[in-house]
Amino acid sequence: MIKQNGVYRHYKGNLYRVIGIGKHSENLEEMVIYQSLDNNAIWVRPLYMWEEEINPSGEKRFTLVEE
C-alpha cells in the first residue's frame, strides 16, 4: 500500500514525497502523484509501475524510507 505523504527513494537515488493516488480521467487507471524533494517538480506514474520490481533480484522502483 502506498503511504500518502510518505518519502520514497527511487532506485536511482532521488527522493520523492507521495501527494496521493488519483485516477486517469479516460480509463480510470490508478496513478501515483508525487513530488521531487530536490526541485519540487510534480510527477505522475501509473500505480503498477510504482510498485513493480525492476530487475530479477527483486529490487523495487520505489522504496519507502520515511512515513
H or E stretch including 21? strand 15-23
Q: Which amino acid is at 22?
A: G
Residues 2-55 pLDDT 10s: 999 999 999 999 999 999 999 999 999 999 999 999 999 999 999 999 999 998
C-alpha to C-alpha distance for 16 and 27, rounded to whole angstroms: 26
DSSP string, 39-54: T--EEEEEHHHHH-B-
Give me the CATH topology for the region 7-66: SH3 type barrels. (2.30.30)
pLDDT band at 1 (very low <50, low <70, confident <90, very high): confident
Q: What is the mean pLDDT of residues 52-60?
A: 91
pLDDT at 56 over 90: no
Judge if pTM exceeds 0.75: yes
Where do the domains of the chain lie?
7-66
pLDDT at res. 28 = 97
